[in-house]
Structure 1
Amino acid sequence: MSLEISPAARDVLANWLEACKALDGAADNTLSAYRTDVLDFIVFLTAHHAEPQGLAPLARVTTTDMRSWMAHLRRQDIGARSVARKLSAVKSFYRWLARREGFEATAVLSARAPKFQKKLPRPLTEDAARAMIDTVEVQSREGWQGARDAAVVTLLYGCGLRISEALGLTGRDLPLGASLRIVGKGGKERIVPVLPVAVRAVDTYLRLCPFPVEPDAALFRGARGGALNPRLVSKATERARMQLGLPATATPHAMRHSFATHLLAAGGDLRAIQELLGHASLSTTQAYTAVDEVHLMKVYEATHPKA
């Protein structure tokens, strides 16, 4: 697809992605999504105008062009949420390009994303979360693999880790103590408390694991000793939730949702939970916790400085 755009457009896209990585610390998955979304936009413009889109044509994008592009996406049955994501990437690219090339990008930046209803995550109940951990442990034929999966899911629920963060742990993170330093999205570091139950779960896995602990190797190993594939954790939780009769939303990521929800329900402070989860925005934390307005108001009244 990249062959369909001009060399100038290809180069400027590559430079923008480098800037996103160097200045904003964007993760590889984010950069890949950015590249795909902006590349698709440039390819559309190339076909729409029947000519290569160099820097000058890119700077002349009109409101009509933007409407045509979004109509093109809708004809492909791309959902409103995905259209909004693509538009966000294109706007980010144009903000950078407009500053660099010195032109007004009003037509792009004023484009409105389609409205969509944000889906709140569905946390598990406390009993269901504990049952998930216990059941995951018995889904594998090999005892060490069951202990491994249970340890991973315990870290997701007990520490609020993303699955990529849990599987990113190495031998250098051992032995687990009362806290753990996590490098999350965008290279943002945070310190999370580690519950004794999580320490015990990891210790049990390490006692049974047939592979030696190595400082630079993944802590959680696959059957052949390589880094554990997150799909295997997803499959283990899928088997467990089917056995327990839990809904399809009971995924590994739902354990992180549950961590936040249960903390807030117990009176935890939103800002503190935001830090534990590694969210850049407090509004993201509120969406994760899926709490009702009454409880949010109680937290607000208890923590807001009175005049």
Structure 2
Amino acid sequence: MRFATVEESDGSVRCGVVVDDVLHRLPPGTNVLDLLRAGTLSESGDAALSEGDTVPLAGVRLLPPLEVPSVRDFVAFEEHVEGVRRSVEGQSGVVSEWYEAPAFYFTNPHSLLGAHDDVAPPPGCAVLDFELEVAAIVGREGADLTSEQARSHIAGYTVFNDWSARDLQGREMRVGLGPAKGKDFAGTLGPVLVTADELEPYRDADGFLRLAMTVSVNGTEVGRDLLSNMGWPFEELLSHAARGSRVLPGDVLGSGTCGNGGCLAELWGRSGARQPPPLRSGDVVEMWVEGIGAIANAVVDGVASADAPPVPSARRRDRQRP
């Protein structure tokens, strides 16, 4: 099944099952996260399909498919790491630590946008970029899961665009921490949550989902890859996330950016020039993933640095002691 959450013309938020561009609505007040927590997603979807309470998707705004408690975004594509490392650090190759275990950072679940929402860069950003990813949605709570156990804990998948302010990201990561203000202003999730069973036919002999992925800017394709080029399948990412910890229903696990033009920074690193150029107001970024669907977001003007709250520099202090 394919679950969506929408805002209708009267401002009400409804969720339901999508079939042929029609939303079969669940009862008012129902949401996908609660269904995951209750373990009743499939049964509720069947009930919605039998009720006949429908609305065309063309007349509603697609929101993220569910309210997300947390977002762990991995960096699972070797080709992406190669290109971006050259772009950011001017160095070739991949650090040996990347191969040892899946790496991720936590990003902001409160800034997620719908499949066709406008995106504004954060104050001070002049180098805006996209990142083409797939996200897995956790369906059941778990801790210290093996990869075999983890597969049954994945409820489904969706498309994820991890928008990036590369100039802000580059500055703050020199401090030695993960990205923060370079990332937490926007992330697109959608258009739907496709339940895991629908994508099983795409699984290859090595256990990876072989899904084609493309991204275009203003109608011109700039990236194309296969999800199966990940260094780890999602089950192993989830197992790592739950190692010495726990995952909860609704948690998002991003694949990280695919290779072969999954973001502009990778292309810049390979060519040595910012071509194609950073995104500008008016640009439209469209992403498509086989078996899931497409998202398309227009870039709009953001708040200028002069109009945002100032960022003070650190004050050097006399190091007194108690």
TM-score class, shorter: under 0.3
Q: Which has the higher Rg, Structure 1 or Structure 2?
A: 1
Which structure dedicates a bigger proportion of its chain to strand?
2
Which structure dedicates a bigger proportion of its chain to helix?
1
TM-score normalised by length of structure 1: 0.22
TM-score normalised by length of structure 2: 0.21
Question: Which one scores higher on RCO, CA 8 angstroms, separation ≥ 6?
Answer: 2
